[in-house]
Amino acid sequence: MKRKEEIGGREGSSGEGWKERSVRGRESRKVEVMCVMYVAGRLMHVCNANCQYDEAERTYHRAMQYVTQLHQYSVTVNTAALHSEYSTLLFARSQYEEVTDMSLLTVLLFGWDAHVF
pLDDT in tens, the chain (117 residues): 555 444 444 444 455 565 555 556 667 777 777 788 888 889 999 999 999 999 999 999 999 988 888 788 787 777 878 888 898 999 999 999 998 888 787 777 776 554 443
Task: Give the pLDDT score at 28.
Answer: 76
Contact 72, 33 (CB under 8 A): no
pTM (2 decimals)? 0.65
Buried-state track 31-64, b at ≥16 Cβ within 10 A, e below 16:
eebeebbeebbebbbebbeeebeeebbebbeebb
Burial of 30: CB neighbours in 10 Å, binned 0-12, 13-18, 19+: middle
Task: Give the pLDDT score at 117.
Answer: 39
Give the amino acid at 1: M
User: In terms of Cα–Cα distance, which of 61, 106, 100 is closest to 80?
Assistant: 106
Task: Give the pLDDT score at 23.
Answer: 58
Distance CA 79, CA 63 (A): 9
Distance CA 75, CA 66 (A): 11
Task: Give the pLDDT score at 8.
Answer: 47
Task: Give the pLDDT score at 18.
Answer: 55
